[in-house]
Amino acid sequence: RWPGRKRDSAAGLRHPRHFGDVATVAFTDGSSQDVHAGQGISGFVGGQLRLHPLSPWSARVTAGYKYVTTKASNADIGLGRVPLEFIGSYRFDNGARVGSGLVYHTAIKLNGDGFFEDVKFKDAVGFRVEAGWRWILLSYAGLDYKARNGGGSTDASSVGINLIVGF
């Protein structure tokens, strides 16, 4: 804990594992690579608020950019999106913490870089649960992406390791 501090800023990196596929990219050497909806690395910034300096309860809001690319050397094929998170959490005296809240992904776009038509997805709302100790968290986010052109949906859920830095 940071006694006497009511507001904290947060920044970090995430590297989640994935569930649903949004594309399979074929390469000239005969290999292929799946682009998974939940996969990617993200950077984010935000703020955390505790109503009382000694309270174990806090609320955190973050915004960032999440991106995954392919191994293509002649194209920038990838999935980008802007995640917003609204998380309530409880911190135990031993430094452990748990939290949950809402996630909102917007500006979701699969960039085909001229090799295939770009695919835009509708904004997505889901949930997030997390548990960790001090500055490291294990999280699960559950949400689905739906293509704007009326196509089906894909599971964009992910499990991630989160590093949080407060200052």
Give pLDDT tens digits for 86-144: 999 999 999 999 999 999 999 999 998 888 888 899 999 999 999 999 999 999 999 99
- What is the rounded CA–CA span in Å between residue 154 and residue 156? 6
- What is the rounded CA–CA span in Å between residue 7 and residue 83? 21
For residue 143, give the H/E element and its range.
none
- What is the rounded CA–CA span in Å between residue 39 and residue 52? 37
| Gyration radius from the chain CA atoms | 18
Residue that wins the pLDDT comparison between 114 and 167 = 114
Type of residue at 94: N
- What is the rounded CA–CA span in Å between residue 84 and residue 73? 31
pTM: 0.84
CB 39 within 8 A of CB 15: no
- Tell me phi and psi for residue 41, to 5 degrees: -115, 145
Residue that wins the pLDDT comparison between 13 and 144 = 144
Query: How many residues are listed for the chain in this entry?
Result: 167
Closest CA to 79 of 66, 92, 98, 90: 66
Tens of pLDDT, residue by residue over 36-88, are 888 889 999 999 999 898 999 999 999 999 999 988 888 888 999 999 999 99
Residue 30 has pLDDT above 90, yes or no: no
Between strands 158-163 and 153-155, the pairing is unpaired
Give the pLDDT score at 14: 39
